[in-house]
Structures are given as C-alpha cells and as structure tokens.
Amino acid sequence: DQQVKQNSPSLSVQEGRISILNCDYTNSMFDYFLWYKKYPAEGPTFLISISSIKDKNEDGRFTVFLNKSAKHLSLHIVPSQPGDSAVYFCAASARGRRDDKIIFGKGTRLHILP
C-alpha cells in the first residue's frame, strides 16, 4: 500500500526551462510534506517542505505547491540547471499524531539536458 506516490520514474527537462515534479498521497492524516534530493553515491539532502496550512512555499528557485483537496503536491524548479540532475524524493508525515514517522515516495530521476 503506497501512501506516497511519484508516478513518473524519470523526467527530462531542457536547461533553463521549468521542471515540475509531481507527488500524490492517499493518507488524509498527512499534514507535512517534504522534498529531498539525492545525487549518486550520496545520501539524500533536505530541499524544501510545506505544512498543510499553506498551499505554497518558495525557496529560491524551488517552489512547492500543495493541493489538499486533490491530495497532490508538486515541486517546481525554475530555471532548471545542470546541477539539478538528481533523484527527487517526495515525503509526507502526520505531525499531528504521536508517531509522526515519514513515508517516502519511490523517487523521480530528473535529467537536465544542455
């Protein structure tokens, strides 16, 4: 039972254009969402997060949008740069619960084309 789904295993985007990575979740108890980025041979690094009380959070070139009614979030990267080529993991947690452990999606591999 996959509670956090990233339906696109990979995505290719031209350098300078917008990259949009999508994530869907099924558990309505989730109230906190995160994106992690992972380069080969390294561990994931935290990128950006959003609480369910917001519908948008921006940090430089990275913006996360949350649509609670659709149980959908997306990560926008503008403009895309070669260093953005990596695997991106969407994750969710239910912080309002005592056991606020995190559930990850399977990841989307982003290729930025020159």
Partner 1 sequence: DSGVTQTPKHLITATGQRVTLRCSPRSGDLSVYWYQQSLDQGLQFLIQYYNGEERAKGNILERFSAQQFPDLHSELNLSSLELGDSALYFCASSVETSGRWSDTQYFGPGTRLTVL
34-47 b/e with 16+ CB inside 10 Å = b?
bbbbbeeeeebeeb
Round to whole Å and give the CA distance between 103 and 114. 33
Of the residues 45, 54, 58, 78, which one makes contact with partner 1 according to CB under 8 A: 45
Of the residues 34, 64, 66, 77, which one makes contact with partner 1 according to CB under 8 A: 34
> How many CB atoms are closer than 10 A to CB 72?
14
Using rule CB under 8 A, residue 83 touches partner 1:
no
Question: Which range, of 15-23, 62-70, 78-86, 95-103, touches partner 1 by CB under 8 A?
Answer: 95-103
Using rule CB under 8 A, residue 80 touches partner 1:
no
Smallest gap from residue 16 Cβ to partner 1 (A): 29
Residues interacting with partner 1, by CB under 8 A? 34, 36, 41-46, 49, 89, 91, 93, 95, 99-107
